[in-house]
């Protein structure tokens, strides 16, 4: 009787959640499309100061330690060792993904201590596998994991540890019947498409797919309370006259007024100009963009899980990228692939512990600070700033002496880690600073305090 009562309660709760999703879909019919500009809601303004986030690519691909979704594409020019998972073999992993040791609280605790302020998990990648028991999905935990919800523990862990909650969501869905993409990269890369359609039929088919996709989003945006960020990754349905871009963003903001959304709904070769921020992938811009931005980088050797203990890059690499991004006003979203059983490889905790040690003394020089977008005009080291303080970032092995062009002298120059004074001298129109003798071998930060901040 008790077990029956528990089971009934769970069913009722799921029905209530689905009713919320149904109501959200009804709202879609009444929302007016509006031009997609940056969200001005006060709850969305956290993003540019967040600085550092954790990206998590996790799903059925983790079982075989292969590339997420793209392993379904044969003849692709990368990852040739995993091409045996092309097409149907890839979906054989559906029955093998059962993360019995899943503990996202441990992940998020380590991430927060390492200075990260938000997290983004792949709720659904291009393969169509959903990490939640959704009614609107062809594949996912509803069918293949007895209705287990892998997103709720993640959301709870983020909130418990003070991280903003983000969902990666792929609008493109290669499990959707008739989705217009070739599974052969020779065709895919040349722009060839399967199932040619007339323009009218193409728009009709896309509109049906749009409804299907909106159904999934209605669940993500109503099941888990406040969601801080959605990370789209391209619809990729070609030759559509109306992608309903303005509608989908307006609707999502009606459901979640403070949400931050990236630029990748209608994403064409990285040139989208919609949403709240732009997303250069695997690289940092050469010059500072004039908008909010975030670069997603692979901490390991792929987007997915890798059992290779040497695959995770050192903290010196992490901080170098983070320093350069923050000096230009951007964020770093650092990707790691959890293991299929729900654990993280030990190296993840080793690296986050090392980052935590650095953050304990120098965090304010990167997180919550202001950029110095033209630092290269006056300095041979990256600079960030806050108020009347400048933070000079002395990355290991990059310079032998620090040179700052300035007619003014700072009141003090101190090593942030120890508060010891750093010697400097005036030479012409430059200030020359000694390299700190005590080095943390990552990023020695020198704080310049100014009575009158130089105008740059």
Concatenated DSSP letters of 229-245: EEEE-----TT-S---H
Confidence class of residue 63 from pLDDT cuts 50, 70 and 90? very high
pLDDT reading at 273 higher than 70: no
Give the model's pLDDT for residue 15.
Answer: 79
Quick count: other Cβ atoms within 10 Å of Cβ 384?
26
Give the model's pLDDT for residue 242.
Answer: 93
Concatenated DSSP letters of 62-89: GGGT--TTGGGSBT-SS-GGGGGGTTHH
Q: Tens digits of per-residue pLDDT, 172-193?
A: 999 999 999 888 888 887 766 6
What angle (nearest 5°) sits at the alpha carbon of residue 424, between those of residues 422 and 429? 150
Stretch 144-169: mean pLDDT, rounded? 97
Strand, coil or helix: 440? coil
Which residues, other chains included, contact 33 with Cβ-Cβ below 8 Å and sequence gap of 6+? 244, 246, 247, 250
Give the model's pLDDT for residue 6.
Answer: 39
Give the model's pLDDT for residue 455.
Answer: 67
**More confident: 245 or 397:** 245
Phi-psi region of 298 (alpha: psi -120 to 50; beta: other; left: phi over 0): beta
> Could you tell me the domains of the chain?
2-362 (3.20.20.80), 372-449 (2.60.40.1180)
Q: What is the largest CA-CA distance in the chain?
A: 86
Q: Tens digits of per-residue pLDDT, 346-374?
A: 999 999 999 999 999 999 999 999 999 99
- 336 in Cβ contact with 56 (< 8 Å): yes
- 324 in Cβ contact with 45 (< 8 Å): no
Give the model's pLDDT for residue 5.
Answer: 45
What's the CA gap between 318 and 297, in Å, rounded?
Answer: 9
Give the model's pLDDT for residue 309.
Answer: 83
Q: Tens digits of per-residue pLDDT, 28-40?
A: 999 999 988 899 9
**More confident: 272 or 382:** 382
Q: For the whole model, what pTM was predicted? A: 0.94
pLDDT reading at 110 higher than 80: yes
Stretch 107-135: mean pLDDT, rounded? 97
Strand, coil or helix: 33? coil
At 3, which helix (H) or strand (E)? helix 2-28
Whose CA is closest to 5, among 13, 17, 19?
13
What's the CA gap between 351 and 372, in Å, rounded?
Answer: 27
Give the model's pLDDT for residue 193.
Answer: 66
At 327, which helix (H) or strand (E)? helix 315-327
Give the model's pLDDT for residue 238.
Answer: 87
């Amino acid at each position: 009787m008790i077990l029956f009562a528990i089971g009934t309660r769970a069913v009722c709760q799921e029905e209530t959640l689905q009713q919320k999703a149904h109501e959200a879909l009804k709202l879609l019919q009444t929302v007016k499309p509006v031009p997609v500009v940056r969200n001005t809601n006060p709850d969305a303004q956290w993003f540019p100061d967040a600085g550092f986030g954790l990206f998590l690519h996790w799903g059925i691909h983790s079982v075989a330690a292969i590339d997420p979704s793209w392993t379904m594409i044969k003849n692709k020019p990368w990852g040739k060792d995993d091409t045996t998972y092309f097409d149907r073999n890839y979906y054989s992993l559906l029955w093998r993904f059962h993360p019995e040791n899943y503990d996202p609280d441990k992940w998020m605790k380590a991430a927060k201590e390492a200075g990260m302020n938000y997290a983004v998990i792949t709720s659904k990648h291009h393969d169509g596998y959903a990490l939640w028991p959704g009614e609107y999905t062809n594949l996912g935990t509803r069918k293949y994991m007895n209705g287990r919800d892998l997103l709720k523990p993640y959301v709870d862990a983020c909130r418990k540890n003070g991280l903003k909650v983000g969902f990666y969501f792929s609008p493109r869905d290669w499990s959707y019947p008739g989705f217009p993409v070739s599974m052969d990269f020779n065709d895919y890369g040349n722009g060839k498409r399967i199932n040619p359609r007339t323009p009218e039929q193409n728009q009709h088919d896309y509109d049906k797919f749009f409804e299907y996709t909106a159904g999934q989003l209605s669940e993500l945006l109503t099941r888990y309370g406040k969601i801080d960020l959605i990370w789209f990754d391209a619809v990729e349905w070609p030759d559509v006259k109306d992608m309903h871009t303005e509608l989908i963003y307006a609707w999502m903001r009606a459901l979640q007024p403070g949400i931050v959304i990236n630029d990748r709904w209608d994403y064409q070769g990285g040139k989208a100009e919609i949403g709240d921020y732009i997303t250069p992938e695997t690289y940092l811009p050469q010059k500072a963009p004039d908008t909010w931005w975030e670069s997603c980088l692979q901490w390991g050797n792929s987007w997915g899980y890798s059992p290779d203990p040497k695959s995770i890059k050192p903290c010196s690499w992490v901080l170098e990228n983070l320093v350069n991004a923050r000096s230009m006003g951007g964020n770093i979203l650092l990707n790691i692939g959890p293991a299929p059983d729900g654990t993280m490889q030990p190296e993840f905790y080793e690296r986050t512990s090392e980052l935590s040690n650095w953050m304990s003394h120098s965090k304010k020089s990167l997180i919550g600070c202001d950029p110095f977008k033209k630092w290269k005009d006056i300095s041979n080291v990256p600079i960030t700033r806050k108020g009347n303080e400048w933070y000079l970032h002395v990355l290991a092995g990059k310079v032998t002496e620090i040179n700052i062009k300035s007619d003014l002298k700072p009141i003090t120059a101190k090593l942030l880690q120890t508060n010891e004074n750093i010697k400097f001298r005036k030479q012409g129109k430059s200030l020359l600073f000694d390299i700190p003798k005590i080095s943390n071998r990552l990023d020695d930060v020198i704080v310049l305090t100014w009575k009158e901040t130089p105008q740059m």
